[in-house]
Structure 1
Amino acid sequence: MDGIGKVDIIARNTIKPSSPTPDHLRIFKLSLLDQIIPPMYGLIVFFYPAETGTNFSEQSSRLRESLSRTLTTFYPMAGRTNAIEPSIDCSDDGAFFVEAKMDCELSDFLRKPDGELLNNFLPTTDPLTAQLSEGYVTLIQITGFRCGGTAVSVCISHKIGDISSLVTFLHGWTSSGEAGSPVFVGDSLLPPRDLSFAQRTDIKSGNLITKRFVFEASKISHLKDKVGAIDHNIQMINKYPSRVEVVMAQIFKCAIAASRSVTGSFKTSVLFHSVNLRPRTDPPLPENSVGNLIWFVPVVIEESEMDLRTMVHKMKRLVNEFCNEKAKKFKDHSLSVLGEFGKWAEFKEMEFYSCSSWCKFPLYETDFGWGKPIWVSSANLTFKNSIILVDTREGDGIEAWVTLEEEKMAIFERDNELLDSATFNPSAYLYITSTQSV
């Protein structure tokens, strides 16, 4: 991008808990659900305008001090993943903390966010940082802009938890001790098992590219009108599609079409739709439970089902069946989980897609002490056919971060049906009011 430089790292440190972790908590055993998740980081970046009376040094110092206090309560976040056993070594090594500067205005970046440049705000993409921080559960980077604005990225090993877990961590970090204590589930829910029988599908291959599409509230309402009410006989609390469901289906439909254009033929595709298990187990788990308390419900789409209404209805039906019939059995039933996991082998010849929704989580309430963010983003993903959905700042629209192979993305991003519903990478600067300085 013109006028946008690279991020320069100025310091790398480790932030240790303010109080040591007791000896009896030094080993945190992961659950079967944690074990199934691939070894990667959950990534999120918050952008903040300049605040009168503070500077980058003060903000960084405030961040380090509050993080140190928070790690005492969230002690596994200060540990390291065990490369051999399904566990976290809670040895108080700390969180890896990076300070960086960027010689441009925050507004210059926000006017047209660059997906590749966005990676520079992440500690996981710098080779030296990645080498030094290997095994750390938590990585943080604060980046200062020339104008005084900042970006704060929070990267948590997916082995310790899902997006809800990350939000619980953020709440504990930013609430000045007012938040309730987290509930670390670990192997108390589902003990780990031997998964040597499982063969993972390689979903990293290919030249991947991530792009951002914004679905405004009015366009989402139009999609919901096209789909209409669910007309099958399965009992549901809500028979109308949600905004997440219609956006997810629209992206899935257009991605399949792009794949067919590249390969010249239709290939049966499966979308793994993430479902939060916390409210659906029997009894329900606390909202502040930390762990991978999600399941991915497979939604298979054949060529005859390439219609938005059909796709949404099938997606809603399968997720509803899972929640009503299977989710309650997951708690304390390893065999049920292994049985569902084993069924994934049936899809190995299909085109894999996955979608995670961060919608309805209070990400725009994340205040580290200098105000709320003006923009919250996902980042470039390393897994092909991945979809991340995030609320817009207003809360009624959806930003979709879609990762496809480059050849397929070239077709996907020009799909007229997609562009009737979404805008490709609009300015995030529009979210900023005229009273805010960036």
Structure 2
Amino acid sequence: MKVNIISRNIIKPCIPTPLHLRTYKLSILDQLAPSFHSTLILFYQSNSNQKDNHNIASQFLEKSHHLQDSLSKTLVNFYPFAGQVRDSSTIDCNDHGAYFVEAQINCQLIDFLSKPEPENVLLLSPTTDPKSSKVALDYVLLVQLTAFNCGSFAIAVSASHKINDASSLFTFIQGWTSVARRDAKLVVPELNYGASFLPPREIQNAGMKEQSLLNPGNFHCITKRFVFNATKIAALKAKIASAMEHGQHSPSSVDALTALLFKSAMAANRSISGSPFPTVLHHATNLRARMNPPLPANAIGNLIRPSSMLFKGNETELHELVANIRKQLAEFNDEMANKLKGDEGSDLICRLLMESGGLLSSMTNMTSTSLCQLPLYNLDFGWGNPVWVTSPLYLPNVILLLRTKQGDAIEAWITLEENVMALVERDEELLAFASLNPSAFPNHSRL
């Protein structure tokens, strides 16, 4: 498949940002976030029966103009997204603008989604276009609108991890869609919450330490997509629950799938090395709902922390893995979450990072994150809800979970070293519950 770039534009807020809002302070968690752009890609099916290329092109230009106009208005409230990261602790809200790319891919949407290969999905992200990638770090926000031959289109939204986690990116797109639909009640963000919640600190090479802990090394990696339907998820949860001790609650879908995928990766590593070895699983935990009182759902920033759990290599049963995951998450909620606030919270994060850095760097580290709680399929710009949403996160040793459009199925994107993935994609226990990269098109999916 080939993507042709049609145009590149800079979209600025339609109203200049006031001088007193010019400096946006980052929190300690923003400082520690790695310097890359996280992306959501939303696919929309054309409602038109037009087959004339001229009419399809005309409609695409109308959509692009509407998106650029509504983006300009959205950036008024989300003004840090139009700024530039200046140093380790601030964003200069100078109305530098968002980078907006128009593109075209030479295929039909139904063909693209019939087997959405990760390398093809990546073509739709503005961070992979050579020219766009060169300027990516100069922009907090990049957008790529890609037209399919049939008139359908994809919108990829990439925002700097220095200011946003998955929840923040979702809030931004929610705000954009509310403007695009001309809703009477707009979605607006809670800004400057992070820095007041967890003040910044002087950190050498901010972001690099955290990135090295969670995603160490430069590996030859490969990404695969596995999909679990409702029936198979229920069967997996029942299998785990039957082996758990009396009185323990049945595992959640996210816990069960995380344990299954993590077990498969550990088994592959053990097979390659010839012996079990310690592995640390870092589960991204959203602090918003875990604080007392809870933080606003629309608070912008990296309001997540990894709940880290050590597996010594001899824990090979699914129910053991789930029990460990639940235990560590419960301890994080009860003992840690509410300590992460104010100056004391920032100091605690720095101290824990220094204490654990040497130990964790000597172990295999994996990261798991779930977007299953976000209603990604309600993001309507005025042309209906998306038919598929995904978030390509091609970092080594990462598991990403998202719900499908049907809501009762979950897809997992997992990135591993090539030799490890070669074993994982043939894992009989995993394949008993998962389908390897089935169709993502709702009318053609038979999971």
TM score, norm. by length of structure 1 = 0.92
Look up the match of 2:199: 191
Which residue is 1:208 aligned to? 221
Q: Kindly state the Cα deviation for residue 51 of structure 1 after the two structures are TM-superposed.
A: 2.3
SS of 1:133's equivalent in the other structure is helix
| Structure 1 residue 262 displacement after superposition | 2.0
Matches within 5 A, 1:346-361: 346-361=359-374
| Match of residue 73 from structure 1 | 77
The corresponding residue for 2:53 is none
Residue 290 of structure 1: SS of its match in structure 2? coil
Offset at residue 80 of structure 1 (A): 1.2
Counterpart pick for 1:43 among 39, 44, 51: 39
Distance (Å, rounded) in 2 between the aligned partners of 1:180 and 1:271:
34
What SS does structure 2 have at the residue aligned with 1:181? Answer: coil
Q: 1:257 aligns with which of 248, 267, 271?
A: 267
Classify 1:344/1:368 alpha carbon distance in 2 versus 1 (closer, same or farther; 3 Å): farther
Report the counterpart of residue 427 of structure 1 in structure 2: 439
Q: Which moved more, 1:424-433 or 1:27-36?
A: 424-433
| Residue 235 of structure 2 is aligned to residue 222 of structure 1 | yes
What is aligned with 2:311? 301
Specify the SS of the correspondent of 1:304. Answer: coil
- The answer to whether 1:131 aligns with 2:131 is no
Cα separation, 1, equivalents of 2:71 and 2:322: 42
| 1:52-67 paired onto structure 2 within 5 Å | 52=48, 55-67=59-71
Q: CA-atom RMSD, angstroms?
A: 1.9
**Aligned to 2:41, what secondary structure does the other structure show?**
strand
The one-letter code of the counterpart of 2:405 is R
- Rounded Cα–Cα distance in structure 1 between residues aligned with 2:32 and 2:319: 32
Q: What is the Cα deviation at residue 221 of structure 1? A: 0.9
Distance 1:379 1:146 in 2: 23
Partner Cα separation in structure 2 for residue 249 and residue 29 of structure 1: 37
Matched ranges for 1:19-418 at <5 A? 19-52=15-48, 55-82=59-86, 84-176=87-179, 177=183, 178-184=185-191, 185-196=193-204, 199=209, 200-201=212-213, 203-228=216-241, 231=245, 239-332=249-342, 333-345=345-357, 346-379=359-392, 381=394, 383-418=395-430
1:231 is displaced (CA, Å) by 4.4
Mapped pair 1:7 → 2:19: no
* TM-aligned CA deviation for residue 61 of structure 1: 0.8
Q: CA deviation at 1:246?
A: 0.4
Q: Distance in 1 between matches of 2:130 and 2:66?
A: 27
Change (3 A) 1:149 1:432: farther
1:161–1:291 Cα contact (<8 Å) kept: yes
Give the secondary-structure state (helix, strand or coil) at the position aligned to 2:145: strand
Per-residue CA distance 1:327-358 (angstroms, 9 max, x = gap): 01111122222233334323221111001100
| Worse-matched range after superposition: 255-264 or 420-429 | 255-264
Using the TM superposition, give the Cα deviation of residue 181 of structure 1 relative to its aligned residue in structure 2, in angstroms: 2.4
Give yes or no for contact 1:116–1:380 (8 Å, CA) kept in 2: no
The residue type equivalent to 2:234 in the other structure is S
The 3 A distance-change label for structure 1 pair 64 and 171 is: same
Query: What CA distance in whole angstroms lies between the structure 2 residues aligned with 1:431 and 1:320?
Result: 40
Letter of the 2:3 partner, please give it: V
Offset from partner CA, 1:412-437 (integer Å, 9 cap, x none): 1110011011100001124469xxxx
CA contact (8 A) 1:282 1:331 kept: no
Q: Give the superposition deviation at 1:321.
A: 0.8
The alpha carbon displacement at 1:267 in A equals 1.7
**Counterpart secondary structure, 1:71:** helix
Q: What is the CA-CA distance between 1:307 and the residue it aligns to?
A: 0.9
Give the stretch that moved more between structures: 175-184 or 156-165.
175-184
The share of aligned pairs that are identical, in percent, is 44
Does the C-alpha gap of structure 1 residues 431 and 37 become closer, same or farther in structure 2, counting only changes over 3 Å?
farther
| TM-score in terms of structure 2 length | 0.91
Higher mean C-alpha deviation, range 331-340 or range 353-362: 331-340
1:3-35 CA-partner distances (Å, limit 9, x unpaired): xx3011110111101111010111101000111
Letter in 1 for 2:435: T
Contact 1:13–1:98 (8 Å) recurs in 2? yes
Mapped to 2, the partners of 1:338 and 1:261 lie a distance apart of 36
Task: Check whether the contact 1:209–1:405 (CA below 8 A) recurs between aligned residues.
Answer: yes
Q: Given residue 107 of structure 1, which amino acid in structure 2 is its aligned partner?
A: I
- Is this contact kept in 2: 1:364–1:373, CA < 8 A? yes
Counterpart-to-counterpart distance in 2, 1:51 and 1:111 = 19
Which amino acid counterpart does residue 273 of structure 2 have in structure 1? T
Compare the two structures and name the one with the higher helix fraction. 2
Structure 1: gaps (5+ residues): 434-438
| C-alpha distance in structure 1 between counterparts of 2:286 and 2:6, whole Å | 39
Q: Say which is worse superposed, 64-73 or 44-53, in terms of deviation.
A: 44-53
Deviation at 1:232, TM superposition (A): 8.6
- Residue aligned with 1:12, SS: strand
**Secondary structure of the corresponding residue to residue 277 of structure 2:** coil
CA–CA distance in structure 2, aligned partners of residues 415 and 16 of structure 1: 49
